[in-house]
Amino acid sequence: MPKQVLPNRSDFEFMQQQFRSWGFRQIGVKEFQQTFRRLRLRAPRSRPGREVGFVFAKNGLEVTAWTTWMMIEQKARESDAAWIVISKQDNALYFSHPIHRTKNFVVTFLRQAWIAMYKIKHRPICLQCNKFMNIAKSKGIKSRYWSCCNKSEHKDNQPVWLSWDYGLPPKALAYVKKNRKQRTKYRQQLAEQGKPQYQSLKKRKPWQKQTNTL
């Protein structure tokens, strides 16, 4: 793992400015508290401070970018990773790989947030039934694709699928493919060394929705 380089106040202000220029809005404290209570969320572990998140909504989907920056403390959490989440009506449909705070964190984080934003701004429409396509899980960990299962309105009564990369501009597509290639190479190295893969993802405990008990 490369050396940790935590973002500073200048880095956060740059990200804040960039997100706002793209049409993201900063999640307010009251909004976070209301969502926390409404969904009866329980954090996976006790963590200091409240990190700043930015959200962008379009075409029935939302992108949320969690920065690891704590506004009151004016610093980043010592132990954490940034995340990009795509959700629909409170249900998370896609989580990015953890974005570690290393030398190029700010650029990497913003690029991935922009790509997620672009995906929902250009959410594919099924060419057979003209309805929005949905995000579906593939076989690989974190793998996704676009799907339309509205078979009754399709000519051959079959679902329609599109690549998760569908419609991305050439520069963004090249970036995604480069990252994917690097992750594949890293996993191959782990396999050759007999080391387990996806350890950080498997160890990660997600937020949970509490259920009412009588």
**Does an H or E element contain 180, and which?**
helix 170-192
- What is the mean predicted confidence (pLDDT) over 165-178? 96
Which of 68, 163, 84, 80 lies closest to 124 in space, CA to CA? 163
Considering the chain, what percentage of its residues have pLDDT values greater than 90? 65
Is 90 exceeded by the pLDDT of residue 2? no
Model confidence at 54, in pLDDT bands (50, 70, 90)?
very high
> 29: which residues sit within 8 A by CB, 6+ positions away?
50
Q: Which has the higher per-residue pLDDT, 34 or 111? A: 111
CA dist 52 and 66 (Å) reads: 6
CA dist 162 and 141 (Å) reads: 18
Q: Exposure of 162 by Cβ count < 10 A (0-12 exposed, 13-18 middle, 19+ buried)?
A: middle
**What's residue 205's pLDDT?**
56
Q: Could you give the C-alpha distances from 54 to 29, 151, 190, 200, in angstroms and in order?
A: 12, 36, 34, 24
Reported as a single tens digit per residue, the pLDDT across 157-166 is 999 999 999 9
CA dist 210 and 105 (Å) reads: 33
Is 70 exceeded by the pLDDT of residue 91? yes
Lowest mean pLDDT among 8-22, 39-53, 157-171: 39-53
